[in-house]
Each structure stands twice: as structure tokens, then as C-alpha cells.
Amino acid sequence: MSEEKGRIIMGKIRKRNSAGKEKPKKSLQREILEWVATLLAAVLLAMVLRTFVFELVKVDGRSMNDTLADGEIMLVTKFRYSSTWLSFPWQSDEAKENAPRFTVGGDPARFDVVICRYPGRGDTNFVKRVVGLPGDTVALKDGYLYVNGEKYDEPYINEAYRKGYINEFPEYTVPEGEYFVMGDHRNNSNDSRAQGPISRNMIVGHVVQVLFPFSGWRGVPNGLDVK
């Protein structure tokens, strides 16, 4: 038998032997470790996305009618600007408010719709519109908003919400580093008129889209872009 034919036969024998071998089974301990590692990686990825990219938040209440309705689910982006609180759900409101925070990105623009928090309310989310930037002077007269003496028609405000004593607010100058927020339902909103202005690290993210219900899918533009 030639040397070349011998090599061919030996190669076929090795292939048959290797094909007949079964892969060793993973131990139960190894399978559990792999599942735990996969779960931890998924949780870590979700935390990174929620902290730096986006978060889904449900509207609770009518304070942003008619821009946002109770029960709608919003897409809140974090990559433009955000503030993250390093706290846990089981902590008290006081502990949450004293937890470390880190703020990234730029600053909200006037008339952005944002998710924010109030002092004394822990990590409860509120959805409001930024109407006053640091240093601005804001006021409500006859139901209309004035910023630095300029009147804004705010076409997103239902005319019925302009009526009532609560729509009169004297001139107020927003302190440096703070923001004045209000709900679009001016007669039914717990906002800076009662709570005072909020600091930058109380603004969690920027509301840009309504995702659910699907029939109400739409963008949430800056107020200056609303016609």
C-alpha cells in the first residue's frame, strides 16, 4: 500500500472516531452559573440603558392635559440631559433624596416637557413643562404666561384652563441653577407655583414621544414648535 493511500485511510479512521465521540455534558453547577451570568448581564444592560439612553414612564394624573393624557406611556430620553439618583425602591423618601446623584448632558430648553422630582417627594416622578430658565422672570396674567416681559400664547393650553384665580401668578425671578416648571392643565397642576423652582439635578429626562396606546402614538415637541 502506498504512503499516500495510507494517509487517506488513517484520515478516514480519525474522522469516524471523532464523529463517534459525544460532547461532554455541562454540570448543573456550570449551567446555573451561566444562567446567573446571563441574567446579571441583562440587568446591567437594562440599568445602563435606563440611566444613559431612555426610560418608559406612565402618565399619572391630568396635570398635562391636553398634551398628555392619564395612563399614556411616554418615552423619556436621557442622552441629551438627565439626572440619575443612586437609590433603591425600598429606601425611605428621605434616604432617596440624600442618595448620591449624577447629572449628565446639557440643560433643558425653555418649553421642553420633562420628567422631574420635587423636594420631600422621594423619587416620585412628575411630568411638567419647563417655562422658566435660570435668571428668567415668569408671571401669569389673565391666564397667559409672560417670560421676561414677553407674552406667550402657548397654543397647547386649552382655553378652559386659562380661567380661574390660580392662573394669576405675580412676577417671579428664577434663581440661578434652578428651573420653573408648570403643567399644561394650569387649573389642575401641582408645580413650581406651589413647590417653588427645582434644581437641575431634579430633572430626570426629556419627554419626546407617546408610545402607548398605539392609537395615540405621537411626538411631544418643544412648546415653541407647537402650532
DSSP 20-39: HPPPPPPPHHHHHHHHHHHH
For residues 70, 76, 121 and 72, what is the CA-based torsion angle, rounded to 10 degrees? Answer: 10
Query: CA-to-CA distance for 120 and 128, rounded, in angstroms?
Result: 17
At 9 the pLDDT is 46
DSSP 193: H
Question: Tens of pLDDT along the chain (227 residues)?
Answer: 555 544 544 555 455 555 455 556 667 777 777 787 777 776 666 665 566 666 899 999 999 999 999 999 999 999 899 888 877 778 888 888 888 888 888 999 999 999 999 998 888 999 999 999 999 999 999 899 999 999 999 999 999 998 876 778 999 999 999 999 999 999 999 999 999 999 999 999 999 999 999 999 999 999 999 98
Say whether 21 is catalytic: no
Note the pLDDT of residue 75.
95
How many whole angstroms separate alpha carbon 24 and alpha carbon 27? 9
Instruction: Report whether 52 contacts 82 (CB < 8 A).
Output: yes
Among 63, 87, 189, 192, the active-site one is: 63
Q: What is the pLDDT of residue 13?
A: 47
pLDDT at residue 50, rounded to an integer = 62
Planar angle of CA 17, 21, 23, nearest 5 degrees: 150
Grid coordinates given for 27:
454540570
* Grid cell at residue 67: 398634551
Grid cell at residue 167: 392662573
Class of domain 56-225: mainly beta
Instruction: Give the chain's radius of gyration (CA, Å).
Output: 28
151 catalytic residue (yes or no): no
- Identify the pLDDT of residue 39: 76
Q: What share of the chain is helix, strand, coil (3-state, %, to 5)?
A: 30, 30, 40
**What CA–CA distance (Å, rounded) separates 5 from 10?**
9
What pLDDT, on a 0 to 100 scale, did the predictor assign at position 137? Answer: 98
Catalytic residue among 96, 128, 189, 192: 128
Of 57, 18, 204, nearest to 117 by C-alpha is 204
